[in-house]
Amino acid sequence: MTVIIDPQNAGISGNMILGALIDLGANEKELNHIVSHLTSHFGGADFKIEKFNSYGIETTYVDLKEWSTSKNKVISYRELINKIDNLEKDDLIKNEMIETSKNIFKRIAISESNVHGKSLDTIHFHEVGAIDGIIDVFGSVFLYYRLGFNDEKVIGLPLALGGGTINSSHGRIPIPAPATIDILKGLECFGGPVKEELTTPTGSAIYAELCNEFQPFQPIMNVKNIGYGSGSKDLGFPNILRIIEGYSNIDFENVDVIETNVDHLNGELLGYLFEKFIGIGASDVSITPTIMKKNRPGHIIKVISSPEKTDNILLAIYEETGTLGIRVKQTHRGLVKRKIVSINVDIGKYLNTSDICTVRFKLAMMGDKIISQRREYEDIKKLAQNHGLTLIEAEKIVENEFREYLNKGTPFNS
């Protein structure tokens, strides 16, 4: 299953995440139980779940309001973590939920530390330390686990941040808040479309922790369920966070596409580079003839790499080619499921021999459907050489055996 967290329209906040997860079918009674458990340790709050139509879109709105006795409570990061570690045991709250929640608070604390130039030991939470922020984090993590999303691929789409300024405990600050933009370093986000705070520090930290992949667009998938959580502000358009649950027969992975143009390398060196890049971990290499400036013939060297191997490949390109510039594009590619199966080919059906040969096939599958199959060339070559056949004759025999194998409905042994 694939889960999409979509904050493109109106950003993300803790109560919007809660609303969207409840809208997807999370158990409200269990969330009420968790809220009661937390308020007994951190202070009281009113908690209400209701349906709300946000400019034509039916959503779930979670309203969390602190009691006045706990308003504007300040708590240090270390004190918060200590209180979390000493929470009374509850059958519904698992250890992994607690650890994930602590990771979210740590993300916020690290960003606050970066912004204020202080150590984690001296960081104090204001807005986040209040009971509503604590419920936002624990509640979102709890529902995320109860829906089973911790075992699925969770993809985050780019975040709408809003704009302008806002008053905080530190005075007037820009939107997005300094802690928010620090939490989102390395992730795709954009300003606007209104002068309001759309993405909060709590919302961005939950998003960054729960997503295990980030993409600019929703991938190909069969949508099963959609949940909408709404925010409290009237923006003049749907103030919603959307979470989509679905299935895909195509897996996606993040890759970097690395390119450079050269016009000074000979054929021997180009061939060497091909082997070199594959040897240091490139997923694919292609070299394409082209015409460069001053009508000089040249080549485009293109390498596809997993992000963690990009730096080594860049270094190798610079060292081996002497090029002065390399283009790197972050993207993703779709991958169908691949399987290698072996079938036994009875050569005696075609030649005067009792030999049985094993031939491997590479299958590309979408679900249970085979969309392509290719025989292993080395196996075909060996069959042809050992039995005095042409390569074309050997291929015809193997293809015929494979069709019979499929028609029998024999399960594949990979």
Q: Which helix (H) or strand (E) holds 331?
A: strand 327-346
Q: How far is CA 254 from the centre of its chain?
A: 8
| pLDDT given at position 396 | 92
Separation of alpha carbons 266 and 259, rounded Å: 18
| pLDDT given at position 130 | 67
Three-class DSSP category at 118: coil
Task: Name 19's Cβ contacts closer than 8 Å, sequence gap at least 6.
Answer: 49, 59, 60, 61, 62, 227, 228, 229, 230, 241
| pLDDT given at position 413 | 46
Cβ(80)–Cβ(129) under 8 Å? yes
Whole-number CA gyration radius for the chain: 28
Say which CATH architecture domain 337-407 belongs to. Roll (3.10)
- Beta strands 153-156 and 213-214 are parallel
Task: Name 322's Cβ contacts closer than 8 Å, sequence gap at least 6.
Answer: 264
Domains 252-325 and 337-407 share a fold: no
Cβ(31)–Cβ(79) under 8 Å? no
- pLDDT tens for the chain, 414 residues long, are 899 999 999 999 999 999 999 999 999 999 999 888 888 788 777 789 999 999 999 999 999 877 655 445 678 899 889 989 988 888 899 999 999 999 999 999 999 999 999 998 888 886 555 678 889 999 999 999 999 999 999 999 999 999 999 988 778 999 999 999 999 999 999 999 999 999 999 999 999 999 998 988 998 889 999 999 999 999 999 999 999 999 877 777 889 999 999 999 999 999 999 999 999 999 999 999 999 998 999 999 999 999 999 999 999 999 999 999 999 998 878 888 888 989 888 888 888 888 888 999 999 887 778 888 889 999 999 999 999 999 999 999 999 988 888 888 765 544
- Provide the b/e sequence for 200-234 (b: ≥16 CB within 10 Å): bbbbbbbbbbbbeebbeeebebeeeeebbbbbeee
CATH number for the segment(s) 252-325: 3.30.70.1380
- Sorted by where each begins, the domain ranges of the chain are 2-248, 252-325, 337-407
Amino acid in the structure at residue 201: P
Q: Which residue has the tokens 């099963």?
A: 224
Predicted TM-score (pTM) of the model is 0.74
| pLDDT given at position 414 | 44
Separation of alpha carbons 336 and 210, rounded Å: 25
261 beta partners? 300
Q: Which residue has the tokens 């820009």?
A: 174
